[in-house]
Structure 1
Amino acid sequence: MSFRMGVMTLALVLAVMAVLLSPASSCSCFYRHPQQHVCEADFVVFARVRKVTHTPDGLTAYKVKVKRILKASEKVQLILQKGLIYTIPGTCAMELESRTSQVITGNVQGGKPWTNLCHFAKPWRSLSSKMKKGFRLLYERGCDCPIMSCAFWEDCPKASFMCAWETSNEENDCQGRHAVCLRGQDGTCDWLGGRLYRECMKPRRKQLDNEITVANNKQDNNINNKINTIPRRRRPLRFGYKRPRLHKLGQPRKGRPYIQHVVNEKPFGPK
């Protein structure tokens, strides 16, 4: 129970820090799964970026045409109707490609929609089929299942109330591109993927199986070596005492007269 509470507390802290990250904050942000971006954002839009512009109050904004609102409250939808998404200039500014349809996430502060490098913004054409389905509907359905990145864990923690993001620090992020974390009918959270996900995870699982086999063989060898070094126990005595060893030929036993058979000797007495 304490481990579960610890993991849930850590996930809650990460979520709160991501939500409270203001546009003026530095770009020290956590690497998050696309599903986490959707669950923690105030808005998710599929929009075409037209150009970057500067507002009269000195702010930098992107002029966009919102094609579809994937996530937003009614109040946020009214704000997005102006067709401007703000970002602060500097190292944390989000650089959006002009004349490109993109999925953009962000938060609303001061009555304005903001996005920065800590949010998600990628061209629609670069997303996998599972990511497209996730942004349309599936990601938001799985918001009650926390996702725990294993990038800083030696052994990835496993629990039924969350999804362990094992491929978060790998170049081929199978769970990031081809899986969604959803709660099943039994109440447990697990990754939902298709054929591409299984094919992507196959080399990784094969490598893990080989590592487990090598570790088991090494453990078996160590056990066998320990067994061989254990001295053998003597067979218990049948009569409760040590029986004397047989004497060597030609040597008398202790406590017994020595009798030697003489061959080819003359018999005693008269003929």
Structure 2
Amino acid sequence: MDSAKMCGFLATSCVLLLTLLGDPTEACSCAPSHPQTAYCNADVVIRCKFVGNGTRSGLSVQYEIKTTKVYKGSEAMQELRFLHTPAMASVCGYEHKENHQGEEYVIAGMLDNNLVRISACSFIQPWAQLTPEQRRGLSLDYSKGCSCQIVPCYSMPCSVDSNSQCLWTDGIVNQMWNGGSQDKSAACLPKSGNPGLCTWQSLKSEKSGFLRKARLRQ
């Protein structure tokens, strides 16, 4: 057996051993992802309600949903009825809790043979828990920053490698990636007049008129 095949065999064996002998959650590890990164990397971003329990078929679980809004994707996504995820937690399968049925969620998924697939690492957040700035990002601003790159800072010192990158420090400053100021209220966007330079920009708006608020609630 050549070295390449041997490496592949050993890697597969390790995965099987983790699945069969270890804690099934240990094999799934998710890197931190800013909402903008999740939006830009996804094929589909929607707001929806789960209307049924998951149905298992082989190595996959299918969840029935009702789509209420499409933030990214074709018009056909408005009729999207099912989300698909791995059946096993060890390969990052997503499990939706029954007591959260009917609650609206924002979900970022990937297209695979006309199926929308999600995982435990996908952006799946209750709509009610998103800040007004995150809602604005989904509707207006995140799409403008997809040429930029958000780089998590895991330990100091840290730096960026290019002008198109923004350093994400919530994990250092707040000891948590989700819930920090950059996560909750900012986006990494091209600077006006210098599109090759990306900088953190606040999504907070001084405008608080009725029409503005109504638009962000949609």
The two structures have a TM-score, normalised by structure 2, of 0.69
Identity %: 26
1:247 maps to which residue?
Answer: none
Q: How many residues align?
A: 167
1:83 maps to which residue?
Answer: 81
1:155 maps to which residue?
Answer: 157
2:38 maps to which residue?
Answer: 37
Q: What secondary structure sits across from 2:182 in the alignment?
A: helix
Q: What secondary structure sits across from 1:154 in the alignment?
A: coil
CA contact (8 A) 2:189 2:201 kept: yes
Structure 1 56/119 Cα, relative in aligned 2: closer, same or farther at 3 Å?
closer
Q: Using the TM superposition, give the Cα deviation of residue 57 of structure 1 relative to its aligned residue in structure 2, in angstroms.
A: 6.1
Match of 2:201 among 186, 192, 217: 192
Q: What secondary structure sits across from 2:170 in the alignment?
A: coil
Q: Using the TM superposition, give the Cα deviation of residue 137 of structure 1 relative to its aligned residue in structure 2, in angstroms.
A: 2.2
Regions of 4+ moved over 4 Å: 55-58
Write out per-residue CA displacement over residues 197-222 of structure 1, whole angstroms, 9 at most, x where no aligned residue: xxxxxxxxxxxxxxxxxxxxxxxxxx
2:183 maps to which residue?
Answer: 176
Q: Using the TM superposition, give the Cα deviation of residue 95 of structure 1 relative to its aligned residue in structure 2, in angstroms.
A: 2.8
Q: Distance in 2 between matches of 1:36 and 1:105?
A: 10
Gapped regions of structure 1 (runs ≥ 5): 1-25, 197-271
Amino acid corresponding to residue 94 of structure 2 in structure 1: M
Q: Distance in 2 between matches of 1:173 and 1:127?
A: 12
2:22 maps to which residue?
Answer: none
Structure 1 131/36 Cα, relative in aligned 2: closer, same or farther at 3 Å?
same
Q: Using the TM superposition, give the Cα deviation of residue 52 of structure 1 relative to its aligned residue in structure 2, in angstroms.
A: 1.8
Matched, 1:165 2:168: yes
CA contact (8 A) 1:51 1:99 kept: no
Alignment RMSD (CA, Å): 2.2
Match of 2:121 among 114, 118, 136: 118
1:53 maps to which residue?
Answer: 54
Structure 1 160/60 Cα, relative in aligned 2: closer, same or farther at 3 Å?
same
Q: Using the TM superposition, give the Cα deviation of residue 73 of structure 1 relative to its aligned residue in structure 2, in angstroms.
A: 3.5
Q: Distance in 2 between matches of 1:138 and 1:41?
A: 15
Q: What secondary structure sits across from 1:168 in the alignment?
A: helix
Write out per-residue CA displacement over residues 107-134 of structure 1, whole angstroms, 9 at most, x where no aligned residue: 1113311101111001101011111111
Matched, 1:139 2:142: yes
Write out per-residue CA displacement over residues 39-85 of structure 1, whole angstroms, 9 at most, x where no aligned residue: 111100011111223266674211111011110135xx35x635011
1:101 maps to which residue?
Answer: 104
Q: Using the TM superposition, give the Cα deviation of residue 87 of structure 1 relative to its aligned residue in structure 2, in angstroms.
A: 1.3
Gapped regions of structure 2 (runs ≥ 5): 1-26, 206-218
Q: Distance in 2 between matches of 1:82 and 1:189?
A: 34
Query: Which has the greater radius of gyration?
Result: 1
1:68 maps to which residue?
Answer: 69
Amino acid corresponding to residue 95 of structure 2 in structure 1: E
Q: Which has the higher contact order (CA 8 A, sep 6+)?
A: 2
Q: Distance in 1 between matches of 2:132 and 2:140?
A: 13
